[in-house]
Every structure is written in structure tokens, then in C-alpha cells.
Amino acid sequence: MTEQTLPHTPGEQTVPADPPTGAPPRGRRLLRTVARWSLVAAVAGGIGIGTHLFVTAQDRTDLPGLATRSDGRWDFPTQRLPALPADAMRPAHPRNPAGIHHADLRDLLVSAPGSAEPDAKLTGDWTPASAYLAEYAEGDRRELGNKLHEFALRHAASRAWTMPDGTEARVHLLRFPSSGLTDLYRDKGLDFGSTTGASLAHAEETWMDKQWTSRGVPETASVYSYEEQAPYGDDGVQTRVAYIVAGDTLGMVVHEKKGGADRVPFHQTVVLQTQLLS
């Protein structure tokens, strides 16, 4: 951002100086005090507005990795939104009522942290629906597969990785022909409520994450966050899962870790993925 200097206006008047001797009248002292505090308030307000403009005016193609390791966040690289074709609108644009993502779905997947070990199968490329359906208990896979077919799933892309602390992370993006069909799959397939309607393969039941906050999540997307509550089953592995609904795309983020999947990096992953889809 280029620093700008306010130009001097010819003929600009200056405030005459106070008399050199003698205390100013009480009324003038009061006016001077009011003016001084008004200036302080104006400067403080200007700093706040300036900070807001700096944050909101950043290049929309760069999404910071939110990588502050002191609070447990992962070392995500800066996420970059792909360039759109000429005249293409983002999914939340009023002139894009179907909520279509015109970018390649694979380019909208969140990148893995720098310290992660990439998965050999889910590499960020196109994946069959079966890779996504494998997240669910065997008894629910057939029904969910039927719903994907019913609502005309176009394609899916997935990425997975493992962190040095043993956390396994997987992200799936499913693209439907329109936002309306995405909503139908959410409502009639996954059936969100206080618990996820479809059971996960590694968690018998997950409950709504009451500590989830929408800070950092664009208003154009919806996030449904769930967690497995202790005890975590025979293997002691906790599962966290979040679903993102953004236009024609549904995202699924899964974190699993023995002894408990940390909340902070899970929220970090979900927020970054949501921003990429908005």
C-alpha cells in the first residue's frame, strides 16, 4: 500500500496563536480541552478504520495460513485462490444464483501444512466417490451413494496428510450442479442435527461442537462442526468432522488422533478451507 500525503490547499487558513501572556478565559480552556479529546478520538477512530481497511483490502487471492504455532496452530502455507475465467462470478455473487464455482475444484482444496506427511492416495487430485464414502460406516455407504447419484454429483477431489503428532487429516470436496442440489444432499443425505445423521466409520456417534465459533468464516458459507465425545472407543482415537456448504460444493474436513484431536488446528483447517470455497 502506497503511503499518501495530504496535499496543501492554497489559501488554507491557520488558527491564530493565543496571546503570549495571561491565562486564557475559562470558556477558551474548555473549548481547547474538548478539541484536544476530539482529536484523540479522531486519531483512534482513524487507526481502527485504517486497520479494518488494511485487513479487508488484502489481495483476495492470498489467504494467510493463520500459522501462529504458539497456540497449537499448524504451519499452513499461504493459500492462494485460483484465477477465474474472464467474466466469471464467484459463487456468492448475485449474478451467480446457482452458486457455481468456476475454478477447478482441485485448486480449491486446502494445501497441507509444511510439516505434514502427504497421503499416498488422497493427493489433491480427482477421487472416486468411494474415497469420500469410506468415511462412513458400511451400513450408511450404500444409501449415501444413492443420494449422491440422485442429486447428480459431478465430481470429487480429496487431500489427506498426517502430522508429526499423529493427527490424521482428510479433506473432501464434492461438487453438484447447483447450490440447490448441494442443499438437498445436505438435508436428505447427511441430515444434520445435534448429531450427524450418517454415522462415521471411526466414530459411532459425533455431537455438535458447542465450542465452534464462526470467526473467520465468510457469511456466504455454512459450517456444521461435530466432535466425538469421550470415551473414544476401543482404540482411543477421537474424530472431529466439519461440513462446509458453499454454493454448488460441499466440503468435509476430518481430523483423527489417539487421545484426542486438538481443537485449534481443526478449526484452523476448517476456516481456511471455507475461505477457499467462498
246-274: pLDDT as tens digits: 999 999 999 999 999 999 999 999 999 99
Identify residue 180 by its one-letter amino acid code: G
User: How does strand 117-127 pair with strand 155-162?
Assistant: antiparallel
User: Which has the closest alpha carbon to 84: 61, 112, 116, 66?
Assistant: 61
Identify residue 178 by its one-letter amino acid code: S
Strand, coil or helix: 60: coil
- Let me know if domain 62-83+97-276 sits in CATH 3.40.1000: yes
What digits encode the pLDDT tens for the residues 149-177? 999 999 999 999 999 999 999 999 999 99
Tell me how crowded residue 3 is: count the other CB atoms within 10 A of its CB: 4
d(CA 51, CA 49): 5
Q: What is the mean pLDDT of the chain?
A: 80
121-268-203 Cα angle (round to 5): 60
What digits encode the pLDDT tens for the residues 100-155? 999 999 999 999 999 999 999 999 999 999 999 999 999 899 999 999 999 999 99
